Amino acid sequence: MSVTREANDGRGPVDFKMSLGSADQTLVEFKLARNTQLKRNLSHQVAIYEAASDADKSIKVIVYFHDSELARVRRILDELGLTGDPDIVLIDARSDNKPSASRAAVH
């Protein structure tokens, strides 16, 4: 297995490119939910990278830090018809909804 960070196949760097040989390549692109170009990127950018890299799969990872960002991401995914897409991963990076590790009870 090969993992390349910021692989650039001619149309700009993708965050990660993972491959098990040339016939099995997956791109992984990370985006912040607050990115003003998120909708455009989800609808166009990764497809361009896939074509340039001869990759047929991509995973889009979106990191959000606030409830308002999550609401925005959900609205964008709905508008693009991507709600429930298994290739889109949302990462909850909110600090206000988790117990502190030092205060969490051990069970």
- Residue 71: phi, psi to the nearest 5? -60, -40
pLDDT at 92: 95
pLDDT at 69: 97
Please report whether residue 107 resides in a domain.
no
- Taking the alpha carbons at both ends of the chain, their separation in whole angstroms is 37
Please report whether residue 102 resides in a domain.
no
Where in the sequence is the domain holding 25, given as residue range(s)? 2-92
Identify whether the C-beta of residue 76 lies closer than 8 Å to the C-beta of residue 39.
yes
Q: Please give the average pLDDT of every successive group of 10 residues along the chain, which has 107 residues.
A: 61 70 79 94 67 70 96 95 92 81 57
Please report whether residue 97 resides in a domain.
no
Question: Can you give the length of the chain in residues?
Answer: 107
Specify the number of domains making up the chain.
Answer: 1
Please report whether residue 23 resides in a domain.
yes
